[in-house]
Chain A
Amino acid sequence: MNKLKTDIGVKLSEQKYNVDETSLTQGFLAVLKRDVVTAFRQRGDIINPVVFFLMVVTMMPLGISPESKALSFLAPGLLWVIALLATLLSLDSLFRSDYEDGSLEQLILSPQSLYFMSIGKVLSHWLTTGLPLTFVAPLLGVLLALPAEGYLPLLLSLLLGTITLSFVGAIGAALTVSLRKGGLLISLIIMPLYVPVLIFGASCVRMAVEGFSIGGPLAVLGAFCAAAIVLAPLAIAGALRMSVEA
């Protein structure tokens, strides 16, 4: 790429045509800002996953048993499973509106890096779904009689875990954006990839409740998170190109 740029630089001076300044942050910031503003204008999109989370958790004591002993045993796993499903529900709309109004074409035709613009899109998705879910989770832990030692690990594991879920899920959303009914397909593509995150996330909380150190599972979640942030945008950018160019 660098070599290409110098080639172009030489020709630029010869033939006088314009090459846009491309910076790594410009496209990223523009997309992030637009998506966060859009999400706050359509608050339903932010509230939906949180309401889903709240409703399912409040039904658990009614459906299983109101006894705190039974609930506290299930709480770590339940909270994680429901948070995961809430994220999954919100994924279908991630690129949908951009695809339908033509802004996805414009993103792809921008000289700015699509890799960083994808990060911007996913980050704004996380800020408006994963982050609210993370902060609501401890409150809902009270409803499921989560033991006191579990709260901080729940918060930390969801913080790292929901970032991973957003980035990995966005690959599925990008692959299915050009299909009219992509919702089910996203779940099928993404579910297997979500399993390791669920295992380590839930076990992080359970180990804390049982009095073990949570360093191990938390470190694995951190590694998942770092890998997802770096690698997933490559797949997202490729999948978006494929969906629009079809």
Chain B
Amino acid sequence: MNTSLVLLECIALACERDGRTLFEKLDLSISAGNVVQIEGPNGCGKTTFLRALTTLLPDYEGKIQWRGESIRRVRQAYLSNLLFIGHLPGVKNTLTPRENLAFLSSLHHQVGLSEIDAALAQVGLYGYEDMPGHQLSAGQLRRIALARLYLSRAQIWVLDEPYTAIDKQGVANLEALFVEHANQGGCVIMTSHQSPSIKQLQQVILQDYSPIHKDLKTKAGLG
């Protein structure tokens, strides 16, 4: 696999919200095989940055390119190569893990029942597959969303705080999965306040642009 292939490129990205600069002059290039952690204090625009990457936030300046094409132009193809798991897991608590996962993955491609059960087993929900969501814990509900990673064929994973409410063993499993995905030519972009123990991890630090630090120049770049 060609791991130097540039998948995503942000060029002079800037975003302003309610008159407050969240980030500006952000240049970033993410290649196949990268695991990128976006870091920074609360409210510095990590989620906003991820939402811009997923096309959920159209209101930014600069360019985001996927394989050299603006993501606005090739939106449909880009979306089929993108898996986004946000703060909100998109899981219904009236449905069972099996039904939830079947629905979420069918938004991308058809998945068989045996694959769904295998993915649920991977995140430790085997045995709970027919239990309605309101009987599951917050961590278990998040695990349903994370089970999508095992079913995904998407090359770009954008994950907002994937470790929230996940136990130590779960975090270790996720890290192993990220490494495997990167080695197969994918890339992972995530935010987290923990420091993952992944060898090829690259960190991007978003500067805090709160009014006090306004004179600071952006230092965002690959760490």
Contact = CB atoms under 8 A, between A and B. Distances in A.
B90 to A, nearest CB: 4
Contacts of B74: 4, 8
Given A105-B56, A106-B107, A111-B108, A37 B77 contact: no
A112 B109 CA distance: 9
Contacts of A4: 74, 76-77
A137 B104 CA distance: 37
Contacts of B154: 18
A110 to B, nearest CB: 4
Contacts of B76: 1, 4, 8, 22, 111
A26 to B, nearest CB: 6
A101 B132 contact: no
Contact of A20 (B59, B80, B84, B132): B80
B158 to A, nearest CB: 9
Interface in B92-120: 92-95, 99, 103-104, 106-110
A108 B80 contact: no
A107 B54 CA distance: 13
A110 B81 CA distance: 10
Contact of A103 (B58, B82, B92): B92
B87 interface: yes
B91 interface: yes
B81 A19 contact: yes
Main secondary structure of the interface of A (DSSP, over half): helix
Contacts of A22: 76, 80
B79 A110 contact: yes
Given A103-B90, A110-B108, A244-B56, A34 B103 contact: yes
Interface string A30-46: 10011001100110000
B88 interface: yes
A19 B110 CA distance: 13
B90 A105 contact: yes
B149 to A, nearest CB: 14
Interface in B40-68: 54-59, 67
A13 interface: no
A112 B79 CA distance: 9
Contacts of A41: 94-95, 132
A100 B74 CA distance: 28
A75 B155 CA distance: 60
Interface in A6-30: 8, 11, 15, 17-22, 26-27, 30
* 7 closest Cβ pairs, A-B complex: A102-B88, A20-B80, A110-B107, A111-B80, A102-B90, A103-B90, A41-B94
Given A38-B94, A102-B91, 12 more contacts: A8-B77, A18-B80, A22-B80, A34-B92, A103-B92, A109-B56, A109-B82, A110-B79, A110-B108, A111-B76, A245-B56, A245-B57
9 contacts: A17-B155, A19-B81, A20-B80, A34-B92, A100-B88, A101-B89, A103-B104, A109-B79, A245-B58
